[in-house]
Amino acid sequence: MGGRLAGKVAVVTGAGSVGDGWGNGRATAVVFAREGARVLAVDRDPAPLQATLDLIADEGGTAAGHTCDVTESAAVAGMIGAAVDAFGGLDVLVNNVGGSRNGGPTELDEAGWRAQLDLNLTSVYLGSRHAIPAMRARGGGAIVNVASTSGLRFTGSPQVGYAAAKAGVIQLSRVTAVQHAPERIRVNTVVPGQLHTPMVEARLAHQRAGGDVPALLAQRQARIPLGFTGDGRDTAYAALFLASDEARFVTGTEIVVDGGMTARCD
């Protein structure tokens, strides 16, 4: 299969989905396979992971599944090893796992704070830590980390753990990019805004709108200058560019995918 990632081996974490539709991880795994990558699709829940694998198989792509808790170092090492064993090496890692909890410092308890950092930031550190040696063995590679516009500005909900962690993802990416640039390992970040992914129905509407999905969608769309809400495919196509050789001179930076939201001052 030809394509922009032909011949590359890619690991995509969070490749399942919490519901039907295009979450960031599912869309990225499908788009990468469509563009010729051999994909190790990773999730901690085997059922939605299998749904993603079925979508790739239906299109004639190449993928294998792997279940993993990406907050555990040994499990992440095993994930990278599984990609090398299945496909002979590693060229691309997409650190996509994440999720938010509401609350500022006085509402989010200490256990919740630590859990948010582990899920959203430590997972990226561990993925990078274990992927870089495998990429070094290939003479280079690309790491694409998925942050959030909550790491850039206040986006309407006090979620201090999530916001701090996602800001950390951006800086972790920059520092890692500079350190490993001489090894031709590029590290960049996709920064999605308020997309309509399955997470809206599964979690966010209950957290922020009393379960009223249309109300939450309208609230989010009102912040977007383009006037419509994107989905996980928009994240996936930004990640595709950063993972491809088209981005050979791009490292240590971010692509914001938010319809212009963070450019507004209100």
For the chain, which residues make up each domain, given as ranges? 9-258
Residues 165-168: contacts with CB under 8 Å, at least 24 apart: 165/98, 165/116, 165/117, 165/119, 165/120, 165/121, 166/98, 166/120, 166/121, 168/117, 168/121
Task: State the fold for domain 9-258.
Answer: Rossmann fold (3.40.50)
pLDDT tens digit sequence for 220-250: 888 899 999 999 999 999 999 999 999 999 9
The token pair that represents 52 in the structure block: 């993603």
What is the value of pTM for the model shown?
Answer: 0.94
Residue 250 and residue 238: Cα distance in Å, rounded? Answer: 12
* Spatial separation of the C-alpha atoms in residues 153 and 157, rounded to whole Å: 11
Average of pLDDT values for 204-222? Answer: 72
- d(CA 65, CA 254) in angstroms, rounded, equals 28
pLDDT tens digit sequence for 5-21: 999 999 999 999 877 88
Copy the structure tokens of residue 246: 């088209």
Name the more confident of 85 and 216.
Answer: 85
Q: How confident is the model at residue 219 (pLDDT cuts 50, 70, 90)?
A: confident
Whole-angstrom distance, CA of residue 33 vs CA of residue 10: 9
pLDDT tops 70 at residue 25: yes
Q: What is the pLDDT of residue 19?
A: 77
Residues 6+ apart with CB under 8 A from 80: 11, 90, 93, 130, 131, 134
Q: In what order do the strands lie in the sheet with 141-146?
A: 62-67, 38-43, 9-12, 92-95, 141-146, 185-192, 254-257
Indicate if 162 belongs to the active site.
yes
DSSP code for 246: G
Predicted confidence (pLDDT) per residue in 131-186, tens digit: 999 999 999 999 999 999 999 999 888 999 999 999 999 999 999 999 999 999 99
Quick: pLDDT tens for 40-74. Answer: 999 999 999 999 999 999 999 999 999 999 999 99
Of the residues 98, 162, 196, 243, which is catalytic?
162
pLDDT of residue 205 exceeding 60: no
